[in-house]
Chains A and B, each alone.
Chain A
Amino acid sequence: GAVVSQHPSRVICKSGTSVKIECRSLDFQATTMFWYRQFPKKSLMLMATSNEGSKATYEQGVEKDKFLINHASLTLSTLTVTSAHPEDSSFYICSATPWGNTEAFFGQGTRLTVV
């Protein structure tokens, strides 16, 4: 199957700083990638759809100025959590679907802890 790599797997940052998370499709090109957030014992919540070469589409209630998404190439999307606060602590997961495929392939996830 297709491989999606996410980095870092864990990050601890101080409140008020920014954190960048990378999502790469290793063996396919992805014009669209998805960013999810998951709180403990809860399901995946779609945050935004990352579109290569254009602006991301954010779900209702997700602050686009706080969660900056850049999809500069067909294999890389980044999510930057700006001015992080403890309530931003969560598990962030990206996914991508190869062209012509219908299955979502997930990155390993990033555990963000803001202290």
Chain B
Amino acid sequence: QKEVEQNSGPLSVPEGAIASLNCTYSDRGSQSFFWYRQYSGKSPELIMSIYSNGDKEDGRFTAQLNKASQYVSLLIRDSQPSDSATYLCAVNIGNQFYFGTGTSLTVIP
């Protein structure tokens, strides 16, 4: 069974703080990992993709992957109120995507 698990939250952080979002997956055959951001009433938009162990940084976002632990995380530095959204973790196996239930993040001004 190809499961992707996330804490549903809600996660609240003050503006300027670091938000940490976590995701675990069950299928060791997973090769590609993604974080999507979804605002209420909108479709998901890609924030980060990561394919190999370690960290990948893009601006204020850092994705971390640990295949041995089957764990992928997203750090958001200097959180802004505009970062308030639901963050979906996704795993690509073959040509199919499997999504977690999403973590709701609120950044408090």
| Residues of A bordering B, CB below 8 Å | 1, 6, 32, 34, 42-44, 46, 49, 91, 93, 95, 97, 102-109, 111
Q: Which residues of chain B are near A44, meaning CB under 8 Å?
A: 44, 88, 99
| Residues of B bordering A, CB below 8 Å | 31-32, 34, 41-46, 49, 51, 88, 90, 92, 95-97, 99-102
Closest to A6 in B: B43
Instruction: For residue B50, give the distance in angstroms from its CB to the closest CB of chain A.
Output: 11
Most-contacted residue by chain A among B41, B51, B97 (CB, 10 A): B97
Is there contact, CB below 8 Å, between B45 and A106? yes
Is there contact, CB below 8 Å, between A43 and B46? no
Is there contact, CB below 8 Å, between A107 and B34? no
Given contacts A104-B34, A108-B42, A109-B42, is CB(A43)–CB(B95) below 8 Å?
A: no
Is there contact, CB below 8 Å, between B43 and A103? no
- Please, how many angstroms separate the alpha-carbon atoms of A95 and B92 in the complex? 13
B41 contacts which of A32, A43, A95, A111 (Cβ < 8 Å)?
A: A111
Is there contact, CB below 8 Å, between A43 and B88? yes
Is there contact, CB below 8 Å, between A1 and B46? yes
